[in-house]
Chain A
Amino acid sequence: MQKRFRLSGLALCEKEQRVRIKTFFLRLHISVPLRGFRGNKRGKVLQNNKVMAEYLEGRENQIVTKGVDSHELVGGKPSVAGSVSQRACVFCGSRVVLYPIADALHLVHGPIGCASYTWDIRGALSSGPELHRSSFSTDLREKNIVFGGQDKLYQALHELIDKHHPKAAFVYSTCIVGVIGDDVQSVCKRVQKEKNIPVIAVMAEGFQGSKKDGYKIACDALFSLIGTDESMEVSPLSINILGDFNLAGELWMLEEYYKKMGIQILAPITGDGRVKKVQNAHRAALNVVQCSGSMIHLAKLMKEKYGIPFIKVSYFGIEDMSDALYEVAKFFKDDSVMDKARELVKDQLTTLIPALEPYKRALQGKKAAIYVGGAFKAISLVKALRLIGMKTVIAGTQTGNTEDYRLLKTICDDGCIMVDDSNPVELSEFVKQTGADLFIGGVKERPIAYKLGIGFCDHNHERKLALAGYDGMLNFAKEVYETVTSPVWQFVSRTKNKE
């Protein structure tokens, strides 16, 4: 019996593409009897590329090996039903973006789960209030589902605002709220009038799409706050930092760099965020956008309405960090700013480069696998890994788009497997094939990497050391070194994986 592929994901493909895919499959010897695969999952090893074919169903556009495949890596596709996807939902996207605004109230309108799973999970540090680290929920129960949850929401908002006197309130609408049809927006409007603070409905019903759609909704929420206050003092050399969430205090590090250049960070959005700063954000001269996936939408909106230009940067790795400083200096067309930037970079590199050297020697030639949220981060990581002598053999993201992937491809080496919206089975298979020594990912990938007997570095919510900036680069090298060369791996036989 021939293995028949249900090419559901391909139903809309052009004829030409079908042909290309067909050749792709032929190359992978897919005409192997189905039974052959079935008995195979407990470690009996077939030829690698045959095993791979098993996992490719409907996802052939989402996996590309650079230098081998000619087709383009397609991003932004919805996940196949039934996949063990590492992706999250719209609510999750909105919640992680807005959550670091520490003096605002974040009320989750829905059953308890959505609030409890997002309770203080992201190490977004605040230099002042800590209101964002508590979990507030309307805890919808069956009767609310039947009779509606609007009254409960109204009451909860009143109880909370009376108690905590926040500067603004974000109300997150979850899946169920979208289905039972609570008019969250009108409740928010009413409370806003009664309590005289901005009360913003974040319409983030989970089923609307992926995490990325949630970012967009969060941006809209932020945009509605921007321009509602003008009381802060603003320097002509002022910027907003978009898309840094102050994980492990990274924003504070950037703040110091920009301060040395004589530049004011008017509004950090949203790391160590404050409502008032966001409200004043429209008065900055420039928006500096990191993590393009989450914040580019806001930058575009601000450009349109307030004429604020934006640049895309990354603070990760020496090159990208330095570019981020130079680009800002260039924008202000002020020689003294540029001089200070050069001075700063020089100072930092004088100590950093020699400090990286021993790590680079130890890690030379080691192989890394990357599976992170967005493609911009992946690009920075490839470069940073190269700086410490490592080669990227797998580069994947949850939410990259086709355009991002084109850029990623230009930076990766030949033979690098690029993947969109992957799953644990694929990822562990790729690790085996490539013999990676390190995995960079998030919470769900960590134990898989360890089980495979390789090092792991969290480049997501759970990073414990700052990884941005120059100090961050050294931290990163240390962390990678520590995990890749850990003595524990000598007790694990990885030979099985390379078969």
Chain B
Amino acid sequence: MLLRHTTAKEIDRKALTINPAKTCQPVGAMYAALGLHGCLPHSHGSQGCCSYHRSALTRHFKEPVMASTSSFSEGSSVFGGSANLVSAIETIFSVYDPEVIAVHTTCLSETIGDDLTQIVSKANEDGKVPAGKKVIYCNTPSYVGTHVTGYANQVSSFVKFFSTATPKKRNVVNLVAGWMEPSDMREIKRIAKEMEARTIMFPDMSDVLDTPLTGHYDMYPKGGTTQADMIATGDSKFSIGIGPYTTEDACIKLENKCKVKFETVEIPIGLKATDKFIMSLSRHANVPVPDSLTEERGRLIDMIADNNKNFYDKRVALYGDPDTLIPLVEFLLTLDMKPVYIVTGTPGKHFDEAMTAMLKEKVPEAKFMSGERADMFRLHQWIKQEGVDMLIGNSYGKYIARDENIPFVRLGFPVMDRPGNNFFPYVGYTGATNLLIKILDAFLDHKDRTCPEEKVELVM
């Protein structure tokens, strides 16, 4: 029992977080920055932060993740990191030659009070930024919000530094992508193409963190939203923010700056969320929903019907990020499953409200929690109090799944012990079938392995 220390009885914890269902802002900012073409994320802080974030992303995506660091020393933390950042900018452009440097802060540089606006404008004035290149920045103090907040802040900075309104509006819809896998972004673009909608997606990690092996290493892969597209988002006629926690702020900024109206939808995980996304895109891009998508939807419903008996009444525990959990809980309810325990380390009212609205009648016994001390230790304690049939979340759930012998579906960030999440999308109708297969496999494999011999069945 790896987690033999976990007891069913919950003790009152005021100060302590055990086995977090979250991490800190900068890693989110680093991930989002990789969705801009030719961008090198830069961590303004100690070397360790940058190294940890790169390792975390590399372990998840199994891809090279490049980012530079200001390499703070004791001196910089006393006298400020301004000199480090200026010389970093110079070094980066002369050695690594990116199109854009996306600077994010850390708890250290935030607390000592480095003023990025001032430092970067000085670097610009002093000619440290070559023509045609750009340095953008955002504030990502680790002690506020979580990795989700960091992602959101970086996406907002794209709007702040690039989006520009010209007098000529274009018949284009911005797809502001929340924290998803590159495969999910690819799938959303495929859906939009299928609908013949003109869109700009930002950020876009497809073809950045899922590149083919060619025998050649490209520091800046071909993917990512280009600067030209990013500038043009100001002329689009509408924005759809996919995942409110990660995109709403960027959408609001874009509306304020360039008068681009917006709506936020949940990440299209599952039937209903995909319906809503496709309807939104259809309405705002003024395109009909093609038969091909209706057929995909039909196939998904067919599959749900075929397997209904395996879903009914199954108790599920989930953890992860609110933008993923909300549509996922909705999908589980569609499947007639019972999401009973849900935790996210990311604070925010929207999660609590959405959970209350979805679960109050259908699963009145459900427990959910967000923010400080909504950690996996607590989730495990709940599971110990009354068991579940399935666990869904990132790799850190494997200890609980093993100790409690429950089927486990890996979904979220980070997944470090199984491949696949950057190959098969979970969004859209096709993505939902991928997810269904994963859920069913986990259930049925577990049943085959653990049921009494006489109950082993060939036809299931």
Contact = CB atoms under 8 A, between A and B. Distances in A.
B56 to A, nearest CB: 6
B58 A446 contact: yes
Contacts of A207: 45-46, 72-74, 76-77, 108
B218 to A, nearest CB: 7
A81 B16 contact: no
Interface stretch (B85-93, B166-174, B423-431): B85-93
Contacts of A58: 91
B95 A92 contact: no
A55 B91 CA distance: 10
A179 B76 CA distance: 11
A206 B215 contact: no
Contacts of B73: 78, 207-209
Contacts of B40: 84
Nearest to A91: B48
Contacts of A452: 215-217
A113 B52 contact: yes
Interface in A98-123: 110-119, 121
Given A82-B68, A496-B216, A156 B16 contact: yes
Interface in A114-137: 114-119, 121, 130-131, 133-137
Given A41-B97, A82-B42, A152 B107 contact: no
B70 interface: yes
A153 B85 CA distance: 32
Contacts of B84: 81
B24 A155 contact: no
Contacts of A163: 5, 7, 11
A448 B61 CA distance: 12
Contact of A85 (B55, B71, B97, B396): B71
Contact of A130 (B2, B15, B67, B106): B2
A112 B377 CA distance: 15
Contact of B49 (A6, A8, A89, A493): A89
Given A130-B2, A446-B58, A492-B215, A138 B345 contact: no
Given A139-B20, A205-B77, A447-B61, 20 more contacts: A41-B219, A57-B94, A84-B66, A85-B68, A90-B46, A114-B24, A114-B52, A119-B19, A130-B5, A134-B3, A134-B5, A137-B20, A138-B15, A141-B372, A159-B14, A175-B106, A206-B46, A206-B48, A451-B213, A453-B215
A142 B220 CA distance: 35
B178 interface: no
Nearest to B14: A155
A145 interface: yes
A139 B54 CA distance: 21
Contacts of A136: 16-18
B48 A55 contact: no
A424 interface: yes
B180 interface: no
Interface centre among B68, B90, B92 (most CB of A within 10 A): B68
Interface in B16-54: 16-20, 22-27, 40, 42, 45-54
Interface string A186-217: 00000000000000000001111111000000
Contacts of A139: 16-17, 20, 372-373
A110 B69 CA distance: 20
B191 interface: no
B144 interface: yes
B302 interface: no
Contacts of B94: 57
A26 B216 CA distance: 29
Contacts of A111: 24, 107, 142-143
Interface centre among B1, B211, B217 (most CB of A within 10 A): B217
Interface in B228-263: none
A53 to B, nearest CB: 11
B215 A141 contact: no
Contact of B15 (A115, A131, A155, A448): A155
Given A89-B49, A448-B64, A428 B217 contact: yes
B217 A451 contact: yes
B142 A112 contact: yes
Interface residues of B, number: 90
B384 interface: no
A297 to B, nearest CB: 19
Interface string A241-275: 00000000000000000000000000000000000
Contacts of B312: none
Contacts of B345: 112
B349 interface: no
A333 interface: no
Contacts of A493: 214-215
Given A89-B46, A89-B47, A447-B64, A42 B91 contact: no
B444 interface: no
B287 interface: no
B87 A116 contact: no
A84 B64 contact: no
Interface in A272-307: none
List the 5 closest pairs (A to B, CB-CB), nearest first.
A89-B48, A113-B24, A82-B88, A82-B91, A453-B215
A54 interface: yes
A430 B406 CA distance: 47
A181 B87 CA distance: 28
A176 B59 CA distance: 26
A334 to B, nearest CB: 41
Contacts of B70: 81-82
A86 interface: yes
A38 interface: yes
B161 interface: no
A85 B47 contact: yes
B77 A175 contact: yes
B213 A492 contact: yes
A451 B212 CA distance: 8
A140 B108 CA distance: 13
A498 B30 CA distance: 32
A142 B55 contact: no
A93 B141 CA distance: 23
A447 B62 contact: yes
A338 to B, nearest CB: 42
Contacts of A46: none
A121 B417 CA distance: 11
A73 B108 CA distance: 32
A112 B20 contact: yes
B107 A112 contact: no
B213 A179 contact: no
A15 interface: no
Contact of A117 (B52, B64, B67, B88): B52
Contact of A448 (B49, B111, B214, B217): B217
A447 B220 CA distance: 14
B157 interface: no
A138 B14 CA distance: 10
Contacts of B71: 78-83, 85
B58 A117 contact: no
Given A80-B71, A82-B42, A111-B24, A424 B143 contact: no
